[in-house]
Amino acid sequence: MQANYFKYQLQFKQASGTSRGILTYKDTWFIQIEDGSFRGIGECGMFKGLSIDDRTDFESKLTWTCENIDLGLHTLLDNLIEFPSIQFGLEMAFQSIKQKKMFELFPSDFTKGQDSIPINGLIWMGDKSYMKQQIKDKLAAGFSCIKLKIGAINFDKELELIKSIRNEFDAQTIEIRVDANGAFKPYEALEKLKRLSDYKLHSIEQPIQQGQLQEMAQLCAETPLPIALDEELIGVFSVTNKDLLLQTIKPQYIILKPTLIGGFKGSQEWIDLAESKNIGWWVTSALESNIGLNAIAQWTYTLKSQLPQGLGTGGLFTNNIQAPLAVESGQLFYDLKTKWNLKF
């Protein structure tokens, strides 16, 4: 068995705003494994400024992984506990070798093109007119659930934007999720949640920055609006610590980004713990290329969640890998008429 990796820079079609700044490109890394005549590929989509494995030794750890590929998946995962994106890339690559198909990792009605996954339409941060145009586009495209990233412009203007949606579409017609990416200060968060709750939102992701466990626990206990943990899950490795975090905070939801929390295995641990505590969950991609998105979508379909998932980011890049993933009427599906076009 042999392995190698290489870096790839994804270019955004349009500069995209987050609470961490404006993104014009995103680096990602692909790991390839050859086992006889079969080749597997996985994406290690480390997210600079967010991933716990955004470290100076990231690429040297990728080199070590390739040099030690014969240790096998389970041993490698144990040795890469602090590098969740490499864990996920390995899971993808080994799964494709196991299936003897590079891209059909989890055969299902989804990969046969016979069923689809409901997803939310993502509204990127920007000025009010830009965000409003995105909302119009998503509604015209048939989405029944939209997710707004908030925290970049004036809060009152964001409330006006949400109010304008609610004036036109009630909660039964359009489900609205918001993601603050930790933008609120603990002392102001509850008041802002109360104001947001006037508009019958589904939930808010990560209202305050991660690592403030007692403040977040108090918010979750008092909130009029369901809270979903996102960044809070990053860097929590052991099942014991995952269980402790959920017991302490008692959130209404958790959001699973496999690239950031240890791939399929790490995400499944969170799901099992959440379900034992009646905590809801959904899966979200983290600006991976279509190779990573494909793996996340196929795995997510097998979980049979009824909630809209956060998987619609494949169209953001000018140089994404052509893939049979398509979005129509708020659903992600496999378009068998479109073939993979892997140029490396």
Residue 257 among the catalytic residues: yes
Q: At 114, list the tokens.
A: 């016979």
Cβ atoms 225, 242 nearer than 8 A? no
d(CA 343, CA 122): 28
Residue 149 among the catalytic residues: yes
Question: Among 26, 138, 149, 192, which one carries the catalytic annotation?
Answer: 149
**Burial grade of 100 (CB within 10 A; 0-12, 13-18, 19 or more):** exposed
Cβ atoms 234, 52 nearer than 8 A? yes
Beta bridge partners of 177: 147, 203
Q: At 61, list the tokens.
A: 């750890």
Residue among 246, 202, 244 nearest 223 (CA)? 202
Distance of CA 278 to the CA centre of its chain: 21
Question: Among 257, 265, 304, 339, which one carries the catalytic annotation?
Answer: 257
d(CA 149, CA 259): 20
d(CA 21, CA 17): 6
The catalytic residue positions are 149, 257
